[in-house]
Structure 1
Amino acid sequence: MGPTEYSIVVSAISYGSIAGSLLSGKAADFFGRKKLMLIVAPLAALGWLLIGLANTIYMVYVGRLICGLATGFLFAIVPEDLALESLQKLRGPKYDVEMDLKEMVLKLSTTGEKHNYRELIKKRTLIPMLIALLIQTSQQACVNYSNKPESSIDAQMATIFTGVAQLIGIIISLFIVDKYGRRILLSVSVFLTGLMVALFGGYFIALNSENPWASWSPLAIILALLLFYCLGCRSIPWFIMSEIFNTSSRSVATSVCVFYNRLLNLIIGQVFPYAAGAFGYSEVFIFFGVISIFIAIAIVIFVPETKGKTLEEIQELFEKQSTKKKKSEEQC
């Protein structure tokens, strides 16, 4: 495949995800989350079937487009569903069923209300929205292009190794996320992922200088990158996003965040091959690595810790921030 076909294959899933994310908020309110997931599941299966049976590049395009559409829906509705329906004792160390009951009552009281995009410009929603967009930006680390470097390791073995690395990262994340908190784990994950992406730049510099370690280093960097990525970047942004929005704006806000995530993914997927051709792979990878490191610092500064807090407590935190900001503006 040439650069154009390669970028389309990578980006096709993002095109579908953008459409799915835009429709997910209203569709979830209309069908309900459970029914919508039942509708989306066969759609995802159809996409994978087309990819598996593909005998032309166009079938791969369509299959990934359909998978992206299903992904856009699922990314928006699954985290919200888990946050709302999981028992408090599974969401944090403090168990208080009264908080769950209050959240249920609040949800029922807002049922039937029309949720629109005007809610997003209100101060109580704007701060969580900016935080959600920041953590969604942290997921964009050129992972889709991390297979570009060539290694001396057999392709099938490399695939197995990368799958194991991702599994290990996810398992480690499950055991330590409640111990160290979402913010710390996410920032560490973003920082280390950015460091690995920057090392790809170093790999290409070494490759051009015919350095002996360039033959085995790509797979080692990829394994470390995927492990660190799955440690926090892959999952934490989604359940932080489901925790920080209030009931009245959650569906619409989640839809916007998923749209933003997939749009960034699409832009990177389309631009990366041409940027690499114009500036060189080393420069592009180092650029994204440095950006990721700055994002990790921003997460430490701006993202609140939600570990052990109920959804109601998180909303009270943002309400206080909004009130303080309003008072300071009045004093000025």
Structure 2
Amino acid sequence: MDYTNGMQSTSSLNFVSETTPLLSEASTSSTSSKMPEKNIGISQQTLVSRGGESVNKARKVPQYVAGLASTLGALAAGMVLGWTSPAGENGIELDKQYNIRIDDEQFAWIGSIFNLGAAAICVPIGIICDKIGRKKAMLLLTIPFTIGWLLIIFSSSVKMFYIGRFILGVSGGAFCVTAPMYTAEIAESSIRGTLGSYFQLMLTVGILMTYTLGTFMSMRVLSIVSAIVPLVFCAVFIMMPETPVYLLKKGQINSARSSYRWLRGSTYDIEPEMTAQNEALAEANRNTISFLSAIKTKAARRGLIIAFGLMTVQQLSGVNAIIFYSGKIFKSAGANMDPNLQTVIVGIMQVVAVFISTLIVDRLGRRVLLLVSSAFMCISAFTMGFYFNLQSNGTDVSSISWVPLVAICLFIVLFSIGFGPIPWMMMGEIFSPQIKGIAGSSACLFNWIMAFFVTKFYSNFESSFGSDRTFWIFSFICALGFVFVFLIVPETKGKTLEEIQCELSGEPITTTTQNNNSNSNSKM
């Protein structure tokens, strides 16, 4: 999600005028050269030769370094997400190792309260980032991360687990907003998609690390290792620059120039990019209208229906219940393989699937992947329900004990390719800049609240309806998701914002719109 469009600073109105002296300095420098030059523009100035080769090419390595450094926070957040799985069925490992009596209801709160912490911060963190900067906000998150893990490590009561998990939810949820925001603002357009995909990838790597370490570490030692990761992030990320976009929004021209030089390399002429960014910020301010006016349009209303509908299916599909309680699910299924090993396999499949998703999402399209994802998630959840139904009716399932692992792996893989990343991706595509900030914040809040209900009441549903009916409910929701995507969700691949807005509002794409889009594409 991109909160920056909804939180423009008034100081950015002065950016274009402040850029003028920068261009004048560049022109003065070039005219003082021994070689005579006439009508030298910015694009020509950038063609500096060294040894016959053009050096007007930004370095990619510093951008990758900064992007990966920022996503270490996502790694930390992923370890928080996966922490409850090694805790065993109903938190039995916590009970043994901490000598604290934890019943089913209390463990459900320990697993789910993380989501409430994330929901509480997803709106304020956007404001904080706009006030103090992306880098400072992310570094400050090390504090709640550390406090949360210390409460977990030294817990002497269930309440300490509650408080620790809630605080970890605040820090982990905040990273789900700040890390994508940071990578989007530091990267060139040619690698922005790749850097943006690192967040989801590192999140799943964090979950996999927790699954793996939890097979041979005690919960307390696992918590200590998890607490070290945010500190490593802080030590690495403190050396990274603030985003040049934020600095330009605040009118800090010289600092923005230094940030661009760090990210693009000393031989790269940053002035054209700074000028373009200044003009984009100024244009956004000129076109700003009130949220209430923007939300009344048909395109905005339909966009909200699509966003909230996709988020509902994403969470009610049961994915968080599977991630949080995978060990418990495999143990209940009575599979021959060690439940912890099966959980690790699920984590590996999730990482692989997210990586595959980054390669194919711009080739196959959003809508196709959502349809395929929901269809196979439906089949997988139904298969799990059918397996548990056979088990509960006394049928010998030893010959098909492999079914739970295959079904859940298929579910996780297809979720990670479709309904995992695409709803978040589409939120940046279906909303106009005037409502993107607030609409994105609202959808984020809604998503975390839905995640809380699923993780909190999964055990209650399982106890009341049985594992078979619980998974059949998940299957039914995935089927509804397929119908929802088929009837309502448009394809956004390869379309400009203006084309998407026309489609959402039911208006035909005019010749003027197509000409404007081709003109804007030719300038890119």
TM-score range, shorter chain: 0.7 to 0.9
1:25–1:254 CA contact under 8 A, matched in 2: no
Unpaired stretches in structure 2, ≥5 consecutive residues:
1-89, 91-102, 194-271, 509-524
Identity within the alignment, %: 27
Q: Deviations over 1:240-284 (max 9, x none)?
A: 212322222222111101011011111222333222222222112
**2:304 equivalent to 1:118:** no
After the TM superposition, which of the residue ranges 2-11 and 35-44 deviates more from structure 2? 35-44
Query: Contact between 2:313 and 2:477, CA under 8 Å: does it hold in 1?
Result: no
Match of 2:505 among 319, 322, 326: 322
Q: Which residue of the partner structure matches residue 206 of structure 1?
A: 390
316-325 or 182-191, which moves further after superposition? 316-325
- Tell me by how many angstroms 1:120 deviates: 6.5
Paired AA for residue 403 in structure 2: S
Partner of 2:381: 197
| 2:492 match: secondary structure | coil
Aligned partner of 2:396: which letter? N
In structure 2, distance between residues paired with 1:76 and 1:116: 23
Q: TM-score, normalised by structure 2?
A: 0.54
Residue by residue, what CA displacement relative to the aligned partner does 1:170-205 show, whole Å, maximum 9, x if unpaired? Answer: 122122112101221122122222321222211211
Residue number in structure 1 paired with 2:492? 306
Residue matched to 1:166? 350
Residue 312 of structure 2 corresponds to residue 137 of structure 1: yes
1-structure distance, mates of 2:118, 2:403: 33
AA paired with 1:130? I
Instruction: Report the counterpart of residue 286 of structure 1 in structure 2.
Output: 472
| Larger proportion of helix | 1
Higher relative contact order (CA 8 A, sep 6+): 1
Change (3 A) 1:307 1:113: closer
1:224 matched to 2:410: yes
User: How far did residue 145 of structure 1 move?
Assistant: 2.8
- Greater shift after overlay, 59-68 or 116-125? 116-125
Equivalent AA in structure 1 for residue 358 of structure 2: L
Q: Whole-Å Cα distance in 2 between the matches of residues 321 and 71 of structure 1?
A: 33
Question: SS of the residue aligned with 1:153?
Answer: coil
Distance in 2, Cα, partners of 1:128 & 1:86: 27
Task: Give the match for residue 282 of structure 2.
Answer: 108
- Counterpart contact for 1:23–1:255, Cα < 8 Å: no
Give the deviation of 1:4 after TM superposition: 0.8
Backbone CA RMSD of aligned residues: 3.2
Alignment partners' CA distance in 2, 1:300 and 1:79: 28
In the TM superposition, residue 77 of structure 1 has moved relative to its aligned partner by 4.1
Give the match for residue 329 of structure 1.
none
Could you tell me which residue of structure 1 aligns to residue 122 of structure 2? 21
**Of 185, 190, 201, which residue of structure 1 is paired with 2:369?**
185
Which one is further off, 300-309 or 50-59? 50-59
Deviation string, structure 1 residues 104-135 (Cα, Å, up to 9, x no partner): 63433445999976366331432222211122
Give TM-score scaled by structure 1 length: 0.81
2:277 matches 1:277 = no
Deviation, 1:80, is: 4.8
Which of 233, 252, 272 pairs up with 2:419?
233
Give 1 or 2 for the bigger CA radius of gyration: 2
Contact 2:313–2:478 under 8 Å retained in 1: yes
What secondary structure, in the 3-state scheme, does the structure 2 residue paired with 1:71 have?
helix
